Chains A and B, each alone.
Chain A
Amino acid sequence: MNSPSLEIRTPEGICFSQMLAGPIARFLAWSLDLFCILVLLTLVSYLALLLIFVSPGLAVALNTLGYFVISIGYGIVCEWFWRGQTLGKRVCRLRVVDAEGLRLQFHQVVIRNLLRFVDALPLLYFVGGVVCWFSPKCQRLGDIAGGTVVIRHPRLLEPDLDQVLPGKFNSLRQYPHLAARLRQGVSPAEAALAVQALLRRDHFQPEARVALFAELAAHFKSKVDFPPEATDGIADEQYIRNVVGVLYSEH
């Protein structure tokens, strides 16, 4: 599997990345969409049943046209009016966007949906899935032709640091040069790991909690070696609080 993110560098030199959705997440979203399509088709067939008393021929024709229009038009209409999302994609928090970060155009939506005819071959989107799996941007054939990608649509989750930061005294702050080195040496993922461990500390079994914070403390101690006065007598969990305090807050 290739890189799961799409990196874009703007002419102003701003870099941003979008998390790409892989074939499994997309398949789940498609399964939900398939369910929606089946519900719509059932509704149309009930509507057609009502018409049977007026004209049986018209009822069958409505059913045939309804099946065709819904199966092809569902993706086009939803993705155009919901800006790259169908119901399944909304639930799975996925979105279709232009592969170069530009605004999604109508013809892109149409092409990626029409090419489902090939992507769906021979069964259950086998061709599309295989192409998506090996594509650098996780694109199926429809995405390649339409110049689109499917990204994960993130939700803002502001870190609630009040409940994890040390209240009064942080022994690591006594050594500002070492604290600065710690900030420099810790990656975003490592910092997030420490925050998440503190946020979820009450959900762990006592033994697991001790083991986890011991492991985390050992990891962060290996990054920067604070003098014994700053670390002696501090539990591993408190040490991680101090580390998070150094990383996230000035005071």
Chain B
Amino acid sequence: MIVDLQRFLANERPVWSELEGMLDQLEREPGVRMSLEQAQRFHCLFERTAADLAKLRTFSSEPETRRYLEHLVARAYGEIHETRDRHRGFRPLHWFFATLPQTFRRHLRAFAMSLTVTVAGCLLGGLALALDPEAKPVLMPFPHLQQDPAQRVAQEEQATADRLAGAKTTFSAFLMTHNTKVSILTLALGMSWGVGTVLMLFYNGVILGAVTVDYVAAGQARFLLGWLLPHGAIEIPAILIAGQAGFVLASALIGWGSRRPLTARLRQVSGDIVTLIFGVALLLVWAGFVEAFLSQYHEPVIPYTAKIAFGALELAALTLFLARSGGTRRGRDEETASSINGGVPAKSERASA
């Protein structure tokens, strides 16, 4: 019990100030490593401040001081008990060539689901347009897709002036930002237990399927491939990966087959979700450039064969990258899994321990 609050404050205030100073320094320089003496002093200050807080709680004290101490103890607690990886600096190349593909592979089932939903949408969109061509304005409510494909191809191939002259950078920036926003929304809708993500992917699939059937039925399959493949080879997988991230989030939210609490499940996947969405953003930046600077140019400016070959090459490279990059050694994967699990070792590590 404290019987003289003023004397108590006067005695203890230097301790709190010292702890606050150390906390400020730690927060300013997250990479700094304390020496053994500093760590012991830090722990001692934390324990003393925590004890002060306990004393204040048992007596009718000034609530503001108690709140201040609670805040101080909370900050120190966070520093002392944090076990998740924080000291490794961010290495962009390692992140891109190892972390991103490893994370993608770790959630292959979510990607398969994303792909399945999109393909189902494609089938429905294609079938609907094949059965009822009059439904085109409903299935593809975009003015530039309402034109007859053969007529459009003829116009594009006969065009003498560059219709994107001076506007390619703007168009590219628009595509990047728009597609990234759609991807983030697809991910964020995972919080609707995945229902929103399914709807977004399915609707994308419906449009893609309807466009494909429209052009193929008009005998313009070669033009379609030359038009879509250079950017679509990257853009469509990017949207699928955003859907994958949405399903990872939804899966953690639902927690099917897991006995861990909701917060632990979400904590486990949050690092992976961020990795996936940053990967998606990078892919979409590339796709935006390609769509603005290459996809909109057709024969005779650029031969379709060259565009199709470029798109196929991109798709092959992306597949290879996602499937193989970052190595396949179990140890490396498990190291990453351990770090994203907040320091909890992977299964085999626990077994060997």
Which residues of A are at the interface with B, using a C-beta cutoff of 8 A? 8, 10-12, 14-19, 55-58, 60-62, 64-65, 67-68, 72, 83, 97-108, 110-111, 114-118, 141, 144-147, 153-159, 161, 183, 186-192, 195, 247-251
A residues in contact with B47, CB < 8 Å: 12
Q: Mark B65-86, 1 if CB is under 8 A from A, else 0.
A: 1111111011001110110101
**Closest A-B pairs by Cβ, 3 of them:** A61-B173, A191-B60, A68-B177
Contact A114 B277 (CB under 8 A): yes
Shortest distance in angstroms between A133's beta carbon and chain B's nearest beta carbon?
17
A residues in contact with B166, CB < 8 Å: 56-57
A residues in contact with B277, CB < 8 Å: 110, 114
Instruction: Identify which of B71, B73, B176, B274 contacts A153 (C-beta below 8 A).
Output: B71
Contact flag A16-B82 (CB < 8 Å), given A118-B188, A145-B270, A146-B270: no
Most interface-central of B5, B60, B64, B173 (chain A CB within 10 A): B60
Contact B177 A248 (CB under 8 A): no
**Measured between alpha carbons, how far is A144 from B270 in the docked complex, in Å?**
11
B residues in contact with A18, CB < 8 Å: 70-71, 74
Instruction: Identify which of B5, B176, B191, B253 contacts A118 (C-beta below 8 A).
Output: B191
Contact A188 B60 (CB under 8 A): yes
**Measured between alpha carbons, how far is A98 from B79 in the docked complex, in Å?**
12
Instruction: Identify which of B4, B167, B196, B270 contacts A250 (C-beta below 8 A).
Output: B4
Contact A161 B6 (CB under 8 A): yes
B residues in contact with A115, CB < 8 Å: 188, 191
A residues in contact with B7, CB < 8 Å: 250
Contact B62 A192 (CB under 8 A): yes
A residues in contact with B267, CB < 8 Å: 147
**Measured between alpha carbons, how far is A71 from B159 in the docked complex, in Å?**
38
Shortest distance in angstroms between A131's beta carbon and chain B's nearest beta carbon?
9
**Measured between alpha carbons, how far is A1 from B84 in the docked complex, in Å?**
33
B50: Cβ under 8 A from any A Cβ: yes
Instruction: Identify which of B62, B173, B192 contacts A60 (C-beta below 8 A).
Output: B173
Cβ < 8 Å to A, chain B residues 114-138 = none
A residues in contact with B27, CB < 8 Å: 83
A residues in contact with B167, CB < 8 Å: 57
Which residues of B are at the interface with A, using a C-beta cutoff of 8 A? 1, 3-7, 9, 13, 27, 47, 50, 53-54, 57, 59-71, 73-74, 77-79, 81-82, 84, 86, 166-170, 172-174, 176-177, 180-181, 184-185, 187-189, 191-192, 196, 249, 253, 263, 266-267, 270-271, 273-274, 277
B residues in contact with A106, CB < 8 Å: 274
Contact flag A10-B191 (CB < 8 Å), given A60-B173, A155-B68, A158-B9: no
Contact B60 A118 (CB under 8 A): no
**Measured between alpha carbons, how far is A67 from B181 in the docked complex, in Å?**
12
Most interface-central of B4, B74, B249 (chain A CB within 10 A): B74
B residues in contact with A114, CB < 8 Å: 184, 187-188, 277
**Measured between alpha carbons, how far is A100 from B50 in the docked complex, in Å?**
17
Contact A188 B61 (CB under 8 A): yes
Instruction: Identify which of A60, A144, A186 contacts B170 (C-beta below 8 A).
Output: A60
B residues in contact with A187, CB < 8 Å: 60
A residues in contact with B50, CB < 8 Å: 10, 12, 14
A residues in contact with B64, CB < 8 Å: 154-157, 159, 192
A189: nearest residue on chain B (CB-CB)?
B63
Given contacts A16-B70, A114-B187, 7 further A-B contacts (CB under 8 A): A18-B71, A61-B170, A64-B177, A72-B184, A105-B271, A144-B266, A154-B68
Contact flag A101-B77 (CB < 8 Å), given A64-B170, A154-B64, A249-B5: yes
Contact A190 B60 (CB under 8 A): yes
B residues in contact with A116, CB < 8 Å: 188
B170: nearest residue on chain A (CB-CB)?
A60
Contact B173 A191 (CB under 8 A): no
Contact A97 B5 (CB under 8 A): no
Instruction: Identify which of A101, A111, A191 contacts B81 (C-beta below 8 A).
Output: A101
> Please, could you name 19 A-B residue pairs with CB atoms under 8 Å apart, sorted by A?
A10-B50, A12-B50, A60-B170, A65-B176, A68-B177, A102-B77, A108-B270, A110-B277, A118-B185, A118-B189, A118-B196, A155-B68, A158-B62, A161-B6, A183-B59, A189-B63, A190-B60, A248-B62, A250-B3
**Measured between alpha carbons, how far is A117 from B188 in the docked complex, in Å?**
7
